[in-house]
Amino acid sequence: MLEIKTLEVDMETGEVNVFKCNTPRDVENLSDDKLQDFLLEARHIQSLMKKGDEEVKKRLDNGHTFSRIGYGNQTRTNLADVESVKKRIVKKYGWNAVVLPSLNQLKRMYGESIEADLEEVIVYKNINVLKVGL
C-alpha cells in the first residue's frame, strides 16, 4: 500500500515536519491546520485518480493488460419506460410504485415553464456543501 506523507514547512524557521495519514484514525488525530492541508492534497489526488482511471480504461480497451487491474462484470437492471406498463403498475400497486422525476429532469423534458406550474409544491432545503480551497 502506498504510504501517504505530507511535508509541512515552517516558513519562518525553515523546519520541515513530515506527517503521515494512512488510516481513518490518523485523519481524526490531525490538527485543524493539518486537516485542512490534507484535504486540499486529497482533492488534488482525487482529480489525478480520475485521470488515472480514464487512462487505464483507455489502455485496457487498446489491449494492454495489468496484473491487478481489469474490467469486472456488472449488470444493471432498468424497467422499460412504457406508458402502458406505468399505468398497470399504478393501478395494481398505487402511486407509490412510481417515482416523480426531479425538478431538473422535468425542466429538461418539458422546458423551464414547468417550474411555474409546480411552484406551489416545490420544497427547498438548504444543505451545507463543503468548499475546499476558498
51/53 Cα distance (integer angstroms): 5
Angle, CA of 62, 68 and 69, to the nearest 5°: 40
pLDDT digits (tens, 9 = 90+) for 60-87: 999 999 999 999 888 888 888 888 988 9
Give backbone dihedrals phi and psi of 75, rounded to 5 degrees, phi first. -115, 130
pLDDT in tens, the chain (134 residues): 556 666 666 777 777 666 677 788 888 888 898 888 888 888 888 888 999 999 999 999 999 999 999 998 888 888 888 889 889 999 999 998 888 889 999 999 999 999 999 999 998 899 888 787 76
Query: Quick check: helix, strand or coil at residue 5?
Result: strand
pTM: 0.51
